[in-house]
Amino acid sequence: MDLTHYYHELHSKRFFYRKLTQNDVESWLDFYQNNPNLQYLGINLNRTDEEMAKAWVHTQMKRYENNAFGQLGIVARTSHELVGTIGYIKSSYCEEGEIEKATAIKPTYWRRGIGIEASMTLIDAVFHNNLASAIIGKRHIDNMKSMYFYQRMGFRDIRTIKEEDREIVKFRLTKEIWRKNDFWANKNVTYHEG
């Protein structure tokens, strides 16, 4: 399964998707300000916003270098502003044919449909190009907003896992469910094939 270029020239109605760079650290600081959901991410919160933003961006850049996919920047087509990140990794939670998806939107952009549009775009690209048979994710057991967000797209909880000092829920979406729920034909997505 080669996802190295799944994002190439990928865009939706309002956004395009690109690799993060060192230049994104300052903009990504906004993700950590007034964000009540940080407690659910399983990250070290005993750091400054700048330290966390650097760590986030640098983690993705290392993943790109190691062909571990990584999250991409969600960039507004009109303003070219970084509004969030989304992407895939091959994690220890993945079984054969699965990849793990994660999404993070800056709090100032919540409730604008960005997460759904970006998720549908990337899920469609993976299934359209037969890059995986299922997409999984994980969330903190108490993060109900995340549960509702993913259920809207057809993901279903499959098990609870104890992870260090927290409980997480693994959820999953298969290509068959995606097609059955008629999400398959996302008309606002442009694919790069080949």
What Cα–Cα distance (Å) separates residue 96 from each residue in 1, 70, 137, 153, 167?
Answer: 10, 19, 15, 22, 23
pLDDT, the chain, mean: 86
SS3 letters for 126-194?
HHHCCCCCEEEEEEECCCHHHHHHHHCCCCEEEEEEEECCEEEEEEEEEHHHHHHCCCCCCCCCECCCC
Determine phi and psi for 3, rounding to 5 degrees: -105, 10
- Are residues 152 and 183 in contact, defined by beta-carbon separation less than 8 angstroms? no
Query: How far is it, in rounded angstroms, from Cα 2 to Cα 138?
Result: 22
Model confidence, pTM: 0.86
Work out the average pLDDT over 18-24. 95
Query: Is pLDDT above 50 for 192?
Result: no
Least trusted range by pLDDT, from 20-24, 41-45, 91-95, 107-111? 41-45
The band of 8, judged by pLDDT with boundaries at 50, 70 and 90, is: low
What is the model's pLDDT at position 185? 54
CA–CA separation, 20 and 178 (whole Å): 28
Percentage of the chain surpassing pLDDT 70?
89
* Strand (E) or helix (H) holding 17: strand 15-19
CB 64 within 8 A of CB 140: no
**129 vs 49: CA distance, rounded Å:** 37
Residue whose token pair is 């694919």 = 191
Higher-confidence position of 108 and 181:
108
Domains and CATH numbers, the chain: 15-180 (3.40.630.30)
pLDDT tens column, 131-180: 899 999 998 888 888 898 888 888 999 999 998 788 989 999 999 998 88
